[in-house]
Structure 1
Amino acid sequence: MEHTLSAENGFQLGLFAPNASSGLAITKVPERWSGAWDENVALARLADRLGIDFLLPVGRWIGWPGTSFHEDVLETITWAAGLLAATERIRVFATVHSALIPPMVAAKQLATLDRIGGGRAGLNIVAGWYQAEYEAFGLDLPGSPEQRYGHAQEWWDLVRTLWASEAPFDHDGTYFPQLRGLHTSPRPVHGTMPVINAAVSPAGRGFATRNADYLLTAAFDPRRGAALVDSVREAAAREGGRDIGVLSNAYVVCRPTHAEAEEFLRYYAQENADWDGVDTVMSGQGINPQSFTQEQIDMFRPRFAAGHGGHPLVGTPDEIADTLVAFAESGVSGIALSFVDYLGELEYFASEVVPRLEKAGIRGRSQGS
């Protein structure tokens, strides 16, 4: 299978979490991303013009207590619908919690989304991990990843079958019993759409290798990225010869000089970091003294302040391009990027870094070049 987020561009570049206030930077600086709708529209149109390949939102139903981080988060399906209607080329993903939206509803919503975008919609499946969100829906978070991904598997099987079946059908499963007369129309433009799954646990990786086109996971550096890509592709090959790409995420501070980039990083992610927010988010994601050493926690905290634990792309255009080329050479398919101020920083990144990637041969010439 060929990965087709934007096949002509080669190494994929996307924007991660622009639907959320603060993006992925857990900071108090006034110039942090607002996540407002009008800014999202302006960003999507700019990214579309510059040849960025995809937009990937975070799915969040409630905020983090005691912090303004992700205080305002636009719902992802309606967000994607608006942005697909406002753009021409870029792919826009919807992040969907499989435990919270029934398969019949999701199948109809996603197909409608894809029709709005003329075949440019994508799906990021989230099996669930945040206890407080389940409680807000009156649900119990299943105790094991195997249960959460078992539910997600049955959910995705139903969505795919709804898209493929010409006739109504019944379903009586483990997580979705006694469903009768299932049928939906219209279907996605091409029958389905690209699927991303972010996973860390063995159960999550198994789900991704069985179902996703791309696994989104942390590749902490290009060397580790190569080993990760090999292990994921070997696992996917065992799942009936499937092929799967690997996406990672990174936060960007791109400036004309390295000193300027380091100065801005220090300003927003050290001097003005929301440290209470950092600790709340890390604890909510299970990074706590019960699971990690204090040394590991101390190592994670600055990266969470800077970009929710993503890989640092901090420096000059040459330095950042070199790192992205190294990721591409390791086999990583692309990077989902975040900025402190997406709209204020993207054009400089695109004008300075992307041509270097094109010259290195890892990307084709973009629409905005």
Structure 2
Amino acid sequence: MPIEFIGIAATQEISESGSATPAPASARDGVSTQTETGHAAGPVVQPGYLRELARAHEESGFDRVLVAHSSASPDGFTVADQILTHTDRLGVLLAHRPGFVSPTLAARKFATLDAFHPGRIALHVITGGDDADQARDGDFSDKPTRYRRTDDFLDVVRKEWNSTQPFDHDGEFYRVRAGFSAVRPAAPIPVYFGGASEDAVRVGGRHADVYAFWGEPLAGIAERIREVRAAAAPYGRDPRFSVSLRPIPAATEAEAWQRAREILRLTKERAGEIRKAFNLDHAEQRGSQRLLEYAAQGEIHDKRLWTEIAKTTGAAGNSTALVGSYEQVAESLLDYVALGVSTLLIRGFAPLADARDYGTLIGLVRAEVAESAEAEEAPVPA
């Protein structure tokens, strides 16, 4: 199975040194303008920086970049179109929260992007685990309700994409009469899905083409793969799987750990500022809880999965790292591949520099996967 690499998009430059003047709080857009070690600088939307970052990912061999979402982020559809327009083959994984745009309109928006950039757009369904962030956009429903709404939302989206005749829909949250779209994707738009709760697994098992996990130890990922496969089986679905990690590679293991300790130092210095800037509460998210449980068990899991950033930030999203030489980190990524993971979402702590640097990791992983495939296909001597 081909290995897919996904990076991260951002519309605002990050100053890793901390010397630049941070953007005012009212101008920050949460995840896309902050890192654990850097300050957002300048306008929230910097077209030139976004283009440079996208091209760096393309040149390094990434397949897609994630356009993340928060209640304060720039419009993801516009950001996605800019990335797709200014690159040649790079795809976009566009995060979208059901509940704020009608599913028929959302389906047409994705299909329209696909019409202009065939095969390069994918939908990442983010149901929303933070009640406060949902409320900032006017949604006061609880998590179980949101997951039922997501289930209904995706039913309508697929009907809008696939129906060649007008369709009706009567669901718990959405009713449609004679729904029809003049623009439909020529090939299915992949649906990625994230979430660690029982509700998430239930709904994602029914709908996900790719189910996304945060970077847990290998045993945890194996457990989660089994859970999702069991949830998907009654619907005849066989999803692929993604793991999100924060690689910290260097020429030598010692150099990698030196950088990791510096990242941790800066993260601890900025912990309060990060929580204020992100303005998110992950305490009720099962995915964050799992990462913190692993962090409490030890700083390092498996060969080199490092949990200290997750522990320091309260597991605010994708926050576990792989630390080691390029070859060592590639080896650890391949350990996830061996479990059945086919998508690796890797992002660093210096967005642009790391996007360029990760080309080495991507090359090592793909070379090993290709070599293994050739060995499996080689004829057995008589």
**How far off its partner does 1:298 sit?**
7.4
In 1, distance between residues paired with 2:220 and 2:138? 40
The equivalent of 1:205 in structure 2 is 201
| Contact preservation (8 Å) 2:65, 2:93 | yes
Any idea what SS the aligned residue of 1:361 has?
helix
Deviations 1:232-258 (A, max 9, x none): 223322x23210111111112222122
| Contact preservation (8 Å) 2:129, 2:143 | no
In 1, distance between residues paired with 2:346 and 2:64? 10
In 2, distance between residues paired with 1:215 and 1:20? 28
**How far off its partner does 1:114 sit?**
0.7
Matched, 1:257 2:266: no
In 1, distance between residues paired with 2:335 and 2:171? 45
Structure 1 residues 107-146: aligned runs within 5 Å: 107-140=107-140, 142-145=141-144
**How far off its partner does 1:216 sit?**
0.8
Matched, 1:185 2:185: no
**How far off its partner does 1:96 sit?**
0.9
Amino acid at match of 1:27: E
Aligned counterpart in structure 1 of residue 66 of structure 2, from 46, 56, 73 = 56
Aligned counterpart in structure 2 of residue 354 of structure 1, from 357, 362, 366 = 362
The 1:205–1:234 alpha-carbon spacing in structure 2 relative to 1, beyond 3 Å, is same
Any idea what SS the aligned residue of 1:167 has?
coil
Amino acid at match of 2:366: E
In 1, distance between residues paired with 2:242 and 2:211? 6
Which TM-score applies when normalising by structure 2? 0.78
Deviations 1:131-186 (A, max 9, x none): 2333233331x2242x2111111111111111222233333332124x33322221
| Contact preservation (8 Å) 1:13, 1:336 | yes
Matched, 1:86 2:91: no
| Contact preservation (8 Å) 1:13, 1:52 | yes
Supply the RMSD in Å over aligned alpha carbons: 3.2
The 1:103–1:272 alpha-carbon spacing in structure 2 relative to 1, beyond 3 Å, is closer
In 2, distance between residues paired with 1:224 and 1:32? 37
The 1:45–1:189 alpha-carbon spacing in structure 2 relative to 1, beyond 3 Å, is farther
**How far off its partner does 1:51 sit?**
2.1
Amino acid at match of 2:331: D
In 1, distance between residues paired with 2:295 and 2:41? 24
The 1:215–1:272 alpha-carbon spacing in structure 2 relative to 1, beyond 3 Å, is closer
The equivalent of 2:28 in structure 1 is none
| Contact preservation (8 Å) 1:17, 1:338 | no
Matched, 1:170 2:172: no
| Contact preservation (8 Å) 2:37, 2:266 | no
- The count of corresponding residues between Structure 1 and Structure 2 is 338
| Contact preservation (8 Å) 2:98, 2:153 | yes
In 1, distance between residues paired with 2:143 and 2:214? 21
Aligned counterpart in structure 2 of residue 302 of structure 1, from 292, 309, 330 = 309
The 1:60–1:275 alpha-carbon spacing in structure 2 relative to 1, beyond 3 Å, is same
Amino acid at match of 2:157: V
The 1:296–1:287 alpha-carbon spacing in structure 2 relative to 1, beyond 3 Å, is farther
The equivalent of 2:27 in structure 1 is none
Matched, 1:325 2:319: no
**How far off its partner does 1:346 sit?**
2.3
The 1:121–1:318 alpha-carbon spacing in structure 2 relative to 1, beyond 3 Å, is same
Amino acid at match of 2:62: I
In 2, distance between residues paired with 1:163 and 1:214? 18
The 1:32–1:264 alpha-carbon spacing in structure 2 relative to 1, beyond 3 Å, is farther
In 1, distance between residues paired with 2:119 and 2:82? 14
In 1, distance between residues paired with 2:102 and 2:224? 33
| Contact preservation (8 Å) 1:94, 1:121 | yes
Aligned counterpart in structure 2 of residue 285 of structure 1, from 252, 266, 282 = 282
Deviates more, 1:335-344 or 1:131-140: 131-140
| Contact preservation (8 Å) 2:213, 2:242 | yes
The equivalent of 1:102 in structure 2 is 102
Q: Which runs of 5 or more residues in structure 2 are unaligned?
A: 15-30, 297-306, 374-382
| Contact preservation (8 Å) 2:130, 2:284 | no
| Contact preservation (8 Å) 1:53, 1:91 | yes
In 1, distance between residues paired with 2:165 and 2:337? 44
Amino acid at match of 1:13: F
**How far off its partner does 1:224 sit?**
2.6
**How far off its partner does 1:363 sit?**
8.1
| Contact preservation (8 Å) 1:222, 1:327 | yes
Deviates more, 1:38-47 or 1:304-313: 304-313
| Contact preservation (8 Å) 1:76, 1:94 | yes
In 1, distance between residues paired with 2:241 and 2:190? 13
| Contact preservation (8 Å) 1:168, 1:181 | yes
In 1, distance between residues paired with 2:239 and 2:47? 33
